[in-house]
């Protein structure tokens, strides 16, 4: 399983969001890394239906969300593919957000994630996501 991060003007969107240590605390970042490592090792199918992975059954856009609840509710939107739809061949991270009082910040986070997904036309639109 390969993990990719969508590029926005040559910046890796989720990597840049995660690097803001004032917004994403170490505890939440560590739990998110653990979920991403599991996805990289085992793929999406193994974890669908678990509490920390939401979507896409009620979402025709094909977006999934990783949920990390802690001091701050962290969410990362991702999708299978979209360049290679081979079963568990690749996952692309699309957008990182927070939830406050049950609402995503920014409010249009899902729309931004879908726009990022739809923008991916070739390998040059994303970069490998580095798990250390």
- The predicted model scores a pTM of 0.86
- The pLDDT tens digits for 29-51 are 899 999 999 888 888 877 876 77
CA torsion, ordered 106, 110, 112, 118, to nearest 10 deg: 180
* Of 23, 18, 14, nearest in space to 128 by CA: 14
Tokens describing residue 36: 């991403």
Structural domain spans, the chain: 2-122
- Quick one: the chain helix, strand, coil %, rounded to 5? 30, 30, 40
pLDDT digits (tens, 9 = 90+) for 70-119: 888 999 999 888 777 666 678 899 999 998 888 888 999 999 999 999 98
């Amino acid at each position: 399983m390969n993990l990719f991060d969508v590029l926005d003007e040559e910046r890796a969107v989720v990597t840049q969001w995660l690097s803001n240590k004032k917004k994403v605390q170490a505890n939440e970042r560590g739990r998110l890394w653990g979920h991403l490592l599991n996805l990289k090792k085992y793929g999406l199918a193994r974890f669908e239906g678990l509490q920390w992975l939401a979507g896409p059954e009620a979402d025709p856009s094909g977006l999934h969300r990783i949920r990390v609840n802690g001091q701050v509710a962290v969410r990362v939107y991702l999708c299978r593919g979209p360049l290679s739809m081979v079963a568990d061949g690749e996952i692309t991270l699309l957008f990182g957000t927070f939830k406050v009082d049950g609402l995503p910040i920014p409010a249009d986070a899902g729309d931004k994630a879908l726009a990022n997904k739809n923008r991916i036309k070739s390998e040059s639109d994303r970069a490998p996501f580095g798990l250390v």
